[in-house]
Structure 1
Amino acid sequence: MTTASPSPAASPSPAASTSSASSSVYADTACPPPTGAATGPRRRRTLLPFSPWHLLLAPLCLLFAIPLIWLLLSSVMSDAEINRFPPSLWQSGIDLEGYRYVIGNAMFPRWFANSLIVSLTAVASNLVLGSLGGYAFARMRFAGSRILLALMLATMAIPFQLTMIPTFLVMKRLGLIDSLGALIVPSLVTPFAVFLLRQFFLSLPRELEEAAWLDGCSRLGVLWRIVLPLSRPALSTVAVLTFLTTWNDLTWPLIAINHDTQYTLQLGLTTFQGQHHTRWSAVMAGNMITVLPVLLAFLFAQKTFIQSITSSGLKG
């Protein structure tokens, strides 16, 4: 009876044993093999502590920040230094006369309050009505839904100059001219808010809503308890953009408001510019105070703003 000898293929070769031993050594020491292809790119990446794109983005950011920096510097200059030609980048001292004039103006707190009321009301109404409209266009199918959506989006291409007079006539019929209502009603809901929220709702999985329906939740309950908590990035984006647009609006308040007690902040700042003399220090200080709420709102919502913009454009 013969015994089968092991085949040569079953016995490990010396080269294989050497490679396995070397790989086990590298695995134990958690160090990669010293190959030039593996260490070259990694060595080049460690030369810069940041991404090479920052070398291009940093000058661009500085370029876009120049107007804001010049506004800040001009707000602490005197009128003589602002009107000097050529302008000086470094003033002799800090002059807060413009801020004193703006804050000491008796109507400035009233203008600030009017702008705050109009902007916050527009933000709240766009969040509520925009969510209802966006969810209806995203999840409900009814006769003419696509046509209504197309017509609504078409209104975004119409410039405000064409709808300015019809809007004024409507507000006049409602008796809202020369009141804050004339500034609030046209901004209660915007097509952009409905469209952005619709796009974000389409990116959410339907399985979450179907599970809530099986548990006996109504459609409004699904929207309130399931959809809106997941849509915080889109809601933050709508809030920031609506606040920015309403807060900085000048054209429509200039048409609809006549009495100075109903002025918004942007409209009130125009009173600092006279026909023969303009207090540029007060104008710059007032604009700096006006920019701060918008800048702070964007900085706080920057992360959710970027997340909403990137996610809402993925699915149409």
Structure 2
Amino acid sequence: MDPGNLTGVSEFLLLGFSEEPELQPLISGLFLSMYLITVFGNLLLILAVSSDSHLHTPMYFFLANLSFVDICFTSTTVPKMLLNIQTERKAITYAGCITQMYFFLLFAGLDNYILTVMAYDRFLAICHPLHYTVIMNPQLCRLLVLMSWIMSVLHSLLQCLMVLRVSFCTVLEIPHFFCEIKQLVQLACSDTFLNHMVMYFGAGLLGGGPLAGILYTYSKIVSTILGISSTQGKYKAFSTCASHLSVVSLFYCTSLGVYLSSAAPQSSHASAVASVMYTVVTPMLNPFIYSLRNKDIKRALKRFFPKETIKRPLSWG
């Protein structure tokens, strides 16, 4: 007998992090705080770049795009999780699950590609400074971002179409806080061999390809920096890509941690917790990483705050 083939399934259950009722307010408060910091931090960075003419350069153009993608990336998962906690319901409709998965894959792919484009930008600026303004012109910048969107849209569309072809069983509980594609495919009753092949291909396309490109560009960047004679010149060259390298390391290390945790047996809960690092924590930290040591960003941000707040510390009476 068929163990409950529910091709017309109406909803799934997102189990989240914990079944304990007393922990739900803590989880809700924590994620709401991180979400608000992510949105306002990245939005402030976008406003700073767009309002300051000195920041209308390729590097900051890509940074503003990254901030926009990070806001969207976090918004695909956290609001639904917070809503489920507040309403004490774990359900997400079938259409809602597929839609969430589509946009999650879309913005995850965009994060990968834009980080790669930013690495290419730093490569040209450090290794070919005389040709930088000619090569990295506004038309090329827009084209690179457009190509990143097209590739991400096509990849996420392919993955979702592959999920739509499978049927699901009676067990419709997803041990995650969002509709993660691997967890969703594991619930299928029908053959998922082709789905796994497409997922592995997508992981190589979105993960392996961009990472290889980033590693190659940074190998050239390091080689060029080491060839600079003055210590001050080396420091200046390195400081222009230190923030990007920090974000890349954080994003890929946490993503790799999720991959390794999901490969281990009985790891659904560990995978969900590890996913928080690159889906929530990394987008939240990006504005701080790019602004803390960047004088141009700091100068642009000052116009959004009262001068008295900047010049003198707050008085507590």
More helix by share: 2
Normalised TM-score (structure 2)? 0.30
Larger Rg over CA atoms? 1
